[in-house]
Amino acid sequence: MKVEEKEARELAIQFTIRFTETQDLSPIIKELYFRDFIERYKTFKTKGLNTEPVSLYFAPGLEYSSQLTVADSKDWEDFYVATNNFLILGFISALAGQSDETANIKPSDLFPSEVIELLDKNPALANMILRKKPAKPVATVGEMRAVTATLAQAATIIRERRGRPPQITDKAELIRIMMNDELFKPRVQVLNESFFGFAKGTRILFIKTPLGLQLMLARDGDRLKIFWTEIIAD
């Protein structure tokens, strides 16, 4: 196994174990992310945009106005953490509830009723669990903070109602699988143009985790770090 591939797999393992232990991305960001990952994202999204505000994808069922790229890094990081905590906890809850009898379970069955009711009260979040109508993009910093607070509250409800997500009972087996299974083999891309602030020719890696999230990696000095994540679509 190539040294770079081994390092990427080990980072994905560390990310997976740390999230199951903490149920929160905040401490993981301090340990495993580029320090300026939010600024890289904002710069990447604003590059090439004209002066007319447009709606941009942030997560399944959640869009925001391009005007929001001017929001400060603290608001953006809080927004990122709350959104992804909610999505990952929902994904873990779905895995924990899987069985032959629940093969056809609806997304709305995976969340406590309190969570569904809570998100339905915010027009920007009404489509996150089950798409019902055209999305209302988050348009102001105030709306961004309201969405952040609502998703953080929803994540707290999931933790309390469902109990802690199942802990990894056999870390050795998890490590064995993630170090050897082709599903977790990183995909390498050499940039032919600037991307997230990285110059043409930079090697970036994409690697899946068992948490429904794909990590986007690049080298920061002598180690790989995460510069963004995205929900695995397939």
Tens of pLDDT along 152-162? 999 999 888 76
Tell me what percent of the residues of the chain surpass a pLDDT of 90.
68
Mean pLDDT of 62-89: 94
pLDDT at 13 over 70: yes
Mean pLDDT of 95-105: 54
Segments making up each domain of the chain, as ranges: 1-48+164-234, 54-161
Quote the mean pLDDT of the chain: 88
Tens of pLDDT along 187-199? 999 999 999 999 9
Mean pLDDT of 59-67: 92
Query: What is the reported pLDDT for 108?
Result: 62
Mapping DSSP onto H, E and C, the string for the chain reads: CCHHHHHHHHHHHHHHHHHHHHCCCHHHHHHHECCCHHHHHHHHHHCCCCCCCCEEEEECCEEEEHHHHHCCHHHHHHHHHHHHHHHHHHHHHHHHCCCHHHCCCCHHHHCCHHHHHHHHCCCCCCCCCCCCCCCCCECCHHHHHHHHHHHHHHHHHHHHHHCCCCCCCCHHHHHHHHHHCHHHCCEEEECCCCECCECCCCEEEEEECCCCEEEEEEEECCEEEEEEEEECCC
